[in-house]
Structure 1
Amino acid sequence: MVNIQFAEEFYMANEALKHFRPTQASIPPREVNYRLQLPSGVPVHIHALNPLAFLLRAAQVYPNKLALVHPDVPHPVIYSYGVWTQRIQNFAYALIQAGIKPADRIAIIAPNIPAVAEAYHGVLGARAVLCAINTRLTHGEVAYILEHSESKLIFVDHEYTHLVKGAKVPVIVINDTGREDDPYEQFLTSGRKFSGERGWPGLEWERDEDAPCALNYTSGTTGRPKGVLTTLRGSYLAAIANAYETGMGRDSTYLWILPMFHASGWCYPWAITFAASAQICLRSVSYPHIWHHLLNSRVTHYCGAPTVQIGLINAPQARRLDRPVHAIIAGSAPTAHLIGELEKINIIPIHVYGLTETYGPSTKCYYQPHWMSLSLEERAKLLARQGHSFATAEDARVVFQPKEGDSPDAPLVDVPKDGKTMGEIVFRGNIVMKEYFKDPEATRKAFRGGYFNTGDLAVWHPDGYIAVQDRSKDIIISGGENASSLAIEQELAAHPDVLEVSVVARPHPKWGERPMAFVILHPQKAAKWKGRHAEFEQDLKKHARGRLPGFACPEWVSVVDELPKTSTGKIQKVQLRKLVAKL
């Protein structure tokens, strides 16, 4: 059971939770040993890093503390750390009973539900590798990932079974009920029986911290998706960094808005357990539900792209919070308007940057105290930078891009820290992927010069902060000048009537390329420009001319109702370029 001290707000808000009882197999024995069996020959001074350790410690120290609640569904569930850890132990034994061997891949296709959070830990208990798959992919894309990953077992939420139709390996359906007759719960119960009550000491600790932990597939916008293979060590250190850099602790509550399938949920499944925090699962990005929890459930942290934050501040339920909430923002830089609106409602933006290949976030724009004396616009420009590397990472660098004919092993050369010279961001060290799965050639290209080459173009400021200018494919080359689409977007977003904007290159007969802006008008200003989009275009261009050089001012402006986005809310410029190609 869950101690009422830690779960009162959820019981009060949801009558069904008062009557919820975990399955019998989820109840831990009276005395629990949370130490796994150590492999022979491990030196006394070595403890192989593994993020599963965070869960075991949290359960040992705080067995009755709230671990996870899933309240906004027909069958809500709530678990203490003691109960939740038992469920994860059952998961691991059930995998072994199903014939899963160390390093085998296990696929899961589901929204943000307890089963996914459990999989991120239970798979490690069986020394296997989790492959969480984007629920927004097509059947064909999912089939490719299942085949390429060679997944031996598939877990699928009941709403997404169509994505695994015809699968050649066993499929376990998750009805997301927490009840005994749920196929997923039956799987866990079978694991408990198979364990023979051997408990955690019946499972073996992975001796190699460089062993695979997760396999995450990139979006594949320029071809087949690539499988990013991460390690136990990297996941452990990335999780610690996330908790430290965002101030998570025992009294924190994390709200799942970011999909757990995206880059291992930016390693927050393990950051939460490292901090012994509570977590709230949401099946979908529902602003009424999000605001309910921000106002009533003591939420302290959540992750989301700027577009998610925009939806949040413009929701009808939006109001100032009586306690600060930390919003971890990545995907693109927050604008001055967005930062100002978040601050007004007591949401503190934490701007981070990273890629799937860097375990999600790996740099942070560290706030300097003297910035508080600056104007909002000046402060926002500083906060929009990507900053410095995380505490557990090696320093990020900005280096000159290779010239044609350069050796892939040639030493990398830093750009000057002048805030002007553009180069490419590169990483190496603790929180960089191990490799692209079964793709040595792509791995070799990505690791040019002994660093992971991100493809993101940036400048390096005198204070050491890096600032992304664009993806290399998104730079607009107009009349021989390089224009950053991100920098243009930052300035256009300062127009008071703009809600969201994205800029891409469009062919121009004289200048080669010119910027084209796709704009969503602010809901409160849309009526003002109804039937007058041509006038708005001129007004936005006038605004741009006061802030941007001529070659960076948009030549065309298109007012749209929505922008194409990924599952994490990141704007898909590849789709906008396809639209432009037809013009």
Structure 2
Amino acid sequence: MESAATLNDWPLVQLSRAFTPTAASIPDQKALKRVHVETSQINLTPLNPVSFLIRAANIYPNKLAVAHPFTDSPVFYSYGQLAQRSVNLAHALQKISNIKPGDRVAVLAPNCPMILEAHFGVPAARAILNPINSRLSPQDISYVLEHSGSKLLLVDHSLLSQVQGLPLIKEGKCQLIISKDSGSSNDCAYERYLEEGRRLSGEEGWMKLTLESDENAPMALCYTSGTTGRPKGVVTTYRGSYLGSISNVIEGRLNTDGDSVYLWTLPMFHASGWTYPWAVTAAFGTHLLLRQIDYEHIWRAFSVYNVTHYCAAPTVQIGIVNHEKARRIVGRRINAIIAASAPTATLLESLENLGIDIAHVYGLTETYGPLTRGYSYPSWRELDAKGRSVQMSRQGQNYVTADEVRVVRVEKEEDGRVHAKLPLEDVPRDGITIGEIVMRGNLVMMEYYNNPEATKEAFAGGWFHSGDLAVRHPNGAIAIADRSKDIIISGGENVSSLEVESALSGHEDVLEAYAVARSDIRWGERPMAFKWKGREREFEELLKEYSKKVLAGYKRPHWIEVVDALPKTSTGKIQKFVLRGWAADRNRASVGGNKAKL
């Protein structure tokens, strides 16, 4: 067997031929037979994204579905093999672990075959998938396991130390199955678990399973980041997951001829990978797995493995364009989804010059990931990169399977923060009036798990409240102004931290900048901006001068600080509560630091 380094010099399909899957992974034709869900109506079949895998395995059983080359033990599976492994998992859950419909099954893993298989095998057993953020502390993982009531945890070997000492695991209340991510049953409990599941199925495969007949039943339980408190469990359904997948095939511009190669830079634990485990499968695409962000691997995937699609936050996009291996893609374009914040003019131009086309989307864990997109117009072609970035900064309009979002009027609380005013009333489409984004429909969560008070608050007025403040333009496109908790109140005026950030990011040397409120005796609060490490003090003064050209006086950052690194969540979102803590520390450390500087 050749080394992984040598094998990685081969194209993906050739590389896959050097891998020998376990006997339990080889599909039995009978096991791949389609499953029909019996319903009382001839013209209605419950929507279930598991059906995408069964369909792919029947139409293209030999098509490369999973490529996992960036490991010591590269692994590759066809759609027939992926379907067989997933149904093995479903039978193992039911027959070995006694998992019943509605039970929660957790998975703690980086992007690897196990977590992808869990997105099909767990709902195939009619259990609820609980993907856990792999970067959480043991205490937070323990909370998620206990709050969700998960009966079984599939864990990657690299994360075993995070869970071994947890009470639920030690007491045997949550079964632990460990994957070595090798594709071999010789050293891997997970592979042996799949083998036993297949044996106990009697080789009946999918035909012996009863798929969920209620499309509105809970399918996944994804916990929010929990940056300001305990994470909340977002319950999503089969119907929403199916329709979110269909939207992402269309809005993500996946090629339904099976030519798409999707690079997994987005963590699959994050809102079930925005439904892309099912979307890529619906398009017969190849899942190219990446256990962690590694720009050397990303550029190898771009240049050698013919990647066509990926999703990433701006922080990852910045790493991509700045890597020493970065060079223009020849002969094709790569479609990239960018979320969390809009690309700056500098970043947009850098990506375009490399042959990467960007679509800017917006959404939350509570909306299955993205549900709006900034749609481009022919007139944009006449604009320069800065002009296009201004247009792309808008979060756009609803996905094809999503209802139109609303921007509704807000009112101030006693502490100066804002929330939606009831009854809900839409703001004018003037691109000026700020309101809160609210949404409902196919791509909105079912509820917060075991948290009726939070659910009631989130659904006030019959719509889901995002907590994001935005304006609405005449064409209906929304543009986020801020999070309600991030608005800066300076001298009684509302200052959008996003507006400050966008203005500073217009400078040609700025790739990323963020602003928060810092207390000020005279003005109450004034903006303070943080930027990635660069030219330090010289650049701080340069940006202050630049801000005078692009921002009104009360909106200009009174302090600018260049820092070594910006605090972010595991999914690339800026942690503004950390920045606010830094700002408070600066005030405490400075003599007279709260005195106004005129």
What's the secondary structure of 1:482's corresponding residue?
A: strand
TM-score (normalizing by structure 1):
0.94
Please tell me whether the aligned partners of residues 13 and 64 of structure 2 are also in contact (alpha carbons under 8 angstroms): no
- The answer as to 2:504 corresponding to 1:501 is no
The amino acid that maps onto 1:68 is: V
Alpha carbons of structure 1 residues 543 and 325: separation in structure 2 relative to 1, 3 Å: same
8 Å Cα contact 1:37-1:202 kept in structure 2: no
Structure 1 residue aligned with 2:372: 363
State the SS of the aligned residue for 1:230.
Answer: strand
Question: Aligned equivalents of 2:29 and 2:245: distance in 1?
Answer: 30
Inter-partner Cα distance in structure 2 for 1:133 and 1:566: 14
Once the two structures are superposed, the pairs formed by residues 388-399 of structure 1 within 5 Å of their partners are: 388-399=397-408
8 Å CA contact 1:266, 1:360 repeated in 2: yes
Structure 1 residue 9 displacement after superposition: 9.1
User: 1:19 aligns to what SS in structure 2?
Assistant: coil
Residue of structure 1 equivalent to 2:184: 179
1:485 aligns with 2:497: yes
Q: 1:332 to 1:189 in 2, by over 3 A?
A: same
Report the AA paired with residue 58 of structure 2. Q
1:318 to 326, 333, 338: 326
Q: Distance in 2 between matches of 1:537 and 1:22?
A: 56
User: Contact 2:11–2:304 (CA<8 Å) still a contact in 1?
Assistant: no
Deviates most, 563-572 or 454-463: 563-572
1:374 corresponds to which of 383, 392, 397: 383
Please state whether the residue corresponding to 2:271 is helix, strand or coil: helix
Q: Which deviations, in whole Å up to 9, do the C-alpha atoms of 1:114-148 show, x marking residues without a partner?
A: 10000000011100111000111111111011000
For residues 239 and 577 of structure 1, the distance between their equivalents in structure 2, rounded to whole angstroms, comes to 37
Partner of 2:295: 287
| 1:95 corresponds to | 93
CA contact (8 A) 1:37 1:200 kept: no
Does 2:233 match 1:227? yes
| Alignment RMSD (CA, Å) | 1.9
Q: Within 2, Cα distance between the matches of 1:121 and 1:227?
A: 20
C-alpha deviation, 1:10, in angstroms = 7.7
CA contact (8 A) 2:409 2:421 kept: no
Residue of 526, 542, 555 corresponding to 1:552: 555
Matched, 1:245 2:257: no
C-alpha distance in structure 2 between counterparts of 1:441 and 1:142, whole Å: 23
Given that residues 10 and 17 in structure 1 are in contact (C-alpha distance below 8 angstroms), is that contact kept between their aligned partners in structure 2?
no
Aligned-residue offset at 1:480:
1.3
- Indicate the residue corresponding to 1:342 in structure 2: 351
> Could you tell me how far 1:80 is from its partner in structure 2?
0.7
Shift of 1:397: 0.5
Shift of the 534–116 alpha-carbon distance from structure 1 to 2, 3 Å rule, reads same
What is the alpha-carbon distance in structure 2 between the residues aligned to residue 72 and residue 254 of structure 1?
15
Matched, 1:384 2:384: no
From 432, 442, 457, the counterpart of 1:430: 442
Is the 2:152–2:175 Cα contact (8 Å) retained in structure 1?
Answer: yes
- Residue in structure 2 matched with residue 3 of structure 1 by the alignment: none
User: Are the structure 2 counterparts of residues 150 and 372 from structure 1 closer, same or farther at C-alpha, using a change threshold of 3 Å?
Assistant: same
User: Please, which of 471, 477, 486 is the counterpart of residue 459 of structure 1?
Assistant: 471
Which residue in 2 is equivalent to 1:542?
A: 545
Retained in 2: the 8 A contact 1:408–1:448?
no
Does the aligned pair in 2 maintain the 1:216–1:264 contact within 8 Å?
A: yes
Paired residue for 2:175, among 150, 170, 174?
A: 170
Shift of 1:375: 2.4
Residue 153 of structure 2 is matched in structure 1 by 154
Cα distance in 1 for residues equivalent to 2:12 and 2:287: 16
How many angstroms does 1:445 deviate by? 0.4
Return the offset for 1:15.
8.3
SS at match of 1:215: strand
Deviations 1:29-59 (A, max 9, x none): 24454322534x5321110000001111111
Structure 2 counterpart of 1:29: 28
**8 A Cα contact 2:347 2:511, kept in partner:** no
TM-superposed deviation, 1:164: 1.4
C-alpha deviations, 1:226-280, integer Å up to 9, x for none? Answer: 0000000000000100110121021111000010001111111111111111110
Q: CA deviation at 1:209?
A: 0.1
Could you say which residue in structure 2 is the equivalent of 1:78? 76
Residues matched between the structures, number: 566
Q: Secondary structure at the match of 2:146?
A: helix
C-alpha change, 1:517 and 1:404, in structure 2 (3 Å) is: closer
Q: CA deviation at 1:301?
A: 0.5
Where structure 2 has 5 or more consecutive residues not aligned to the other structure, the ranges are 1-6, 587-598
Matches within 5 A, 1:504-583: 504-521=516-533, 526=534, 529=535, 533-583=536-586
Q: Distance between the aligned counterparts of 2:512 and 2:293, measured in 1?
A: 18
Residue 449 of structure 1 corresponds to which residue in structure 2? 461
| Structure 1 residue aligned with 2:128 | 129
Question: Taking structure 1 as reference, are residues 407 and 332 closer, same or farther at Cα in structure 2, changes over 3 Å only?
Answer: closer
Q: Deviations over 1:304-355 (max 9, x none)?
A: 0011100100000101001100110001111111111111111001100000
Residue 205 of structure 1, CA deviation: 1.7
Partner of 1:264: 272
- The CA distance in 1 between the partners of 2:272 and 2:17, in whole Å, is 32
Give 1:468 shift.
0.2
Give runs of ≥4 in structure 1 deviating > 6 Å.
13-16, 403-409
Shift in alpha-carbon separation, 1:408–1:576, aligned structure 2, 3 A: closer
